[in-house]
Amino acid sequence: MRRCIDLALKGSGHAAPNPMVGAVLVHEGIIIGEGYHHHWGGPHAEVNCVNSVPPELQELIPRSTLYVSLEPCAHHGKTPPCADLVVSQNIPEVVIGCIDAFSKVAGKGIEKLRNAGINVTLGVLESECRHLNRRFFTFHEQQRPYVILKWAQSADGYIAPANREPVRISNPFADRLVHRWRTEEAGIMVGTQTALLDNPRLTARLWPGKSPVRIVLDLQDKVPGSHYVKDGSVRTLILTSTEIDTAQPLVPQVLAQLHRESVLSVIVEGGAVLLQQFISGGHWDEARIITGQTALGGGLSAPVLKNARMLESNHIAGDRIDIFVPAEH
Ligand SMILES: NC(=O)c1ccc[n+]([C@@H]2O[C@H](COP(=O)([O-])OP(=O)(O)OC[C@H]3O[C@@H](n4cnc5c(N)ncnc54)[C@H](OP(=O)(O)O)[C@@H]3O)[C@@H](O)[C@H]2O)c1
């Protein structure tokens, strides 16, 4: 199952809005085939796994065990049901990491397998398998995107200088990491003042992969058409007073809108006002804070997390990268 998870991760940034899934076929302790879901619309992990078995070993498939990180699907989507494939291949034993959360699938794949007389084992490395697809599970179970908050703060805790001139806080290596993070999420969001003052592109230029959908709060149509976020280079949702009722709390409306737009996850990259609203409503799943090595001596204070627990802390060329999750997780 650990190998399934490693394989599944190769689909990171490409599988969404589908889950990342890995599968391995084992005959008497030896892997004879493996596969993963490479990209949305493409063959599922189970199909790639079965197809990877070399011709001379195919006769072993009906005497092998299939390990798969997520319940095989039972419905006709872009591809035929994987549960049918498992049955037609006469695979006698299937070990599953976790149950699918997608209502068209949940439990139905397992039922199909069991009805065909296949021996099914459930819940192997379940929490690791659910963590792997935490974006997918959050989206389907809570009808909202998975929310990652991200900011860079100076050594003395500011995210912008007093004059609001854009300044470098993180080093070029941390910047690459941030661009990698962007390729892993479906959406990226900023507040009005950040879009106006920093004129960010919000694309993944320093890491290979897809750029996320840009989401820009612009309730009063302040961001000029000449700014990068309005250059049309990447799909962009500009949230105006048409989408947002300013008399109501902002963040729940944003999350509902992103759910409607099938945006599975969003990385919120500032500024302080927007981030603090996500924090105060408890609308976040991860916070990633980069602390640079230079001090600004004053300016716009970094947001303050509440009810947070540190998950990990690393250094990258001198900058500190801290990852937090809500305390109850
Ligand atoms: N170091 C970092 O990681 C980082 C990241 C991003 C930004 N920044 C810095 O942060 C500064 C901008 O941050 P900021 O905190 O001033 O602004 P912000 O969070 O980018 O945008 C907040 C603005 O959005 C508009 N808005 C209207 N209704 C809102 C609502 N209900 N919730 C949230 N926003 C609403 C308001 O714009 P109006 O006031 O125009 O109506 C509000 O001032 C810039 O100097 C930028 O350089 C730093």
Pairing of β 319-326 and β 308-316: antiparallel
- What pLDDT is attached to residue 79? 83
Mean per-residue pLDDT of the chain: 96
Average pLDDT over residues 6-14: 94
Distance 160 CA to ligand 1 centre (A): 11
Q: Kindly report the protein residue whose alpha carbon is nearest to atom 43 of ligand 1.
A: 193
Tokens (6 digits) for 172: 């070029």
Nearest protein CA to atom 34 of ligand 1, as residue: 274
| Ligand 1 atom closest to residue 152's alpha carbon, by position in its atom list | 3
Of 267, 197, 270, give the one whose Cα is nearest residue 227. Answer: 197
Percent of the chain with pLDDT over 70: 99
Confidence at residue 193, expressed as pLDDT on a 0 to 100 scale: 97
Which of 217, 220, 267, 319 most suits a substitution to test ligand 1, by most atoms within 8 Å of the C-beta?
A: 217
**Annotated catalytic, 46?**
yes
The token pair that represents 198 in the structure block: 């920093």
Q: Which residue has the CA at smallest separation from atom 7 of ligand 1?
A: 271
Cα distance between residue 273 and residue 328, in whole Å: 24
The protein residue with its alpha carbon nearest to ligand 1, atom 27, reads 219
In which band, very low, low, confident or very high, does the pLDDT at 206 lie, cut at 50, 70 and 90? very high
Q: Dump pLDDT digits (tens) for 243-252.
A: 999 999 999 9
Residue 56 has pLDDT above 70, yes or no: yes
The residue whose C-alpha atom lies closest to atom 8 belonging to ligand 1 is 271
Mean local confidence (pLDDT), 47-73: 98
Instruction: Inform me whether the pLDDT recorded for 302 exceeds 70.
Output: yes
Task: Name all domains of the chain by residue range, CATH numbers in brackets.
Answer: 2-138 (3.40.140.10), 144-326 (3.40.430.10)
Question: For the segment 213-237, what is each residue's pLDDT rounded down to a tens digit?
Answer: 999 999 999 999 999 999 999 999 9
Give the nearest ligand 1 atom to 153 CA: 1
What is residue 103's predicted lDDT score, i.e. its pLDDT?
67
Q: Whose CA is closest to 252, among 239, 270, 233, 238?
A: 239
Query: Using 50, 70 and 90 to split pLDDT, how confident is the model at 16?
Result: confident
* Integer Cα distance of 17 and 224 in angstroms: 31
Quote the pTM value.
Answer: 0.93
Buried (b) or exposed (e) across 120-137, using 16+ Cβ within 10 A?
Answer: beeebbeeebbebbebbb
Distance 250 CA to ligand 1 centre (A): 13
**Side-chain half-sphere of 239: how many Cα atoms within 13 Å?**
24
CA 150 to ligand 1 center in whole angstroms: 14
DSSP letter at 210 equals P
Q: How far is the CA of 270 from the centre of ligand 1 (A)?
A: 7
Res 203: pLDDT: 98
**pLDDT (0 to 100) of residue 175:** 97
Q: Are 212 and 185 in contact (CB under 8 A)?
A: yes
Nearest atom in ligand 1 to the alpha carbon of residue 272 is 15
**Residues 95-136 pLDDT 10s:** 999 998 876 678 899 999 999 999 999 999 999 999 999 999
Whole-number Å distance, alpha carbon 141 to ligand 1 midpoint, is 30
